[in-house]
Structure 1
Amino acid sequence: MSHSDMDNTVLIVDDDSSIRWVLARALSNAQFKVLSCDNGQQAISMIESARPQLVITDIQMSGMDGLELLASINQQWPDLPVIMITAYADTDLATKTHELGAFDYLPKPFDINHVIKLCQRAVDSKRERQELPLWLQQIEKKIDSEYHQGNSEILIEMQQQFEEFVVESALRLTQGHKQKASKVLGWGRNTLTRKLKYWQEHSEPRTEEE
């Protein structure tokens, strides 16, 4: 499926007009639909009205900076991926953005081909997260139907293995972010933590074969 067959709207937020122009041109040529603005407050309004699939924002901006914008997006639109860009190749800052829930970190100057690939990966990740709950419901319905028809012990084991697989997939899709993974799974805030703890406590120890 080509980019043009899907909603690949990207919002670029940067107070440097030259950066906005370069990114907008490159992403438009890659068949993304591009919106842009120069501050965080306007970005919030545009997200509310346009519902983009991805936000790319600079960190260093006057007024609401990129980290404040990221925090606001995570609170209001937790499934919306955010890529942070900055002029400073600071590994501590990169770690901080990931901890705050950014999809990825992009230091300037950046390679346009890398930006395009990263944007597509972010959009694909969002789409997969949106599709997972329906897929999960369909599989669970099938397991429930089979359970009421026959071999309960095998099906119970299958259901547990499937649940572990889905949890691992949700964590992978959200890059290990437990709060976002819980939202993907449609679970309460503490359910994922309890399940991970239970599986860890009840997992069989692995022995190395000589």
Structure 2
Amino acid sequence: MHVGRRSQGNLRTPAANPLQDFCVAVDDPLHGVFVNGKFCKDPKLAKAGDFYFSVKMPGDTDNPVGSNVSAVNVAQIPGLNTLGISAARIDFAPYGQNPPHTHPRATEILVVLEGTLLVGFVTSNPNNTLISKVLNKGDVFVFPIGLIHFQFNIGKTNAVAFAGLSSQNPGVITIANAVFGSDPAIDPGFLAKAFQLDKGVVEDLQKKFWMDSN
């Protein structure tokens, strides 16, 4: 007996897939159609610039964490809208790091172009297992969707990596920024108990300028 796609729980329904070749994001709702977070430009008006962006220039790593993420998502390339993919260039100063963070809507695959990186992710509760590896030029590593992960340049020279992500708008949550730099601030007494820290330590952390390299 034939079983329709909608009745098969392990398959994506037709509504989850793109229904046209592309959907170039446009901010003008009077001349577009709303699809999955963005309005779509009339396909007849699409141009090469809707599908192009350059990351050939290194990002500025002169900051507290020593790294810079040059995102290439739907905000930079409108033609990525609905296509379920994006990218990022990550530059590291010597001993620079991309601090622990998550992508709530995407799995990430990372390839090292230059340098040596220590990378890793932590599995979900209850085990919270650290899965980590040192990567050299040409090595590839995958960070599963939603899991906390990081990259750290353990070399004495600059490092460069390129990442692909399985969403046109993967999002990013930098853990320290979100917890200690939220606006308005989370109650320090609550955080002190949650992290088993002295309340004064939490209040000091909340006063810091939390750098988000993403």
Q: Do both share a fold (TM > 0.5)? A: no
Q: TM-score, normalised by structure 2?
A: 0.25
* Greater strand share, structure number: 2
**Which gives a bigger RCO, structure 1 or 2 (Cα 8 Å, sep 6+)?**
2
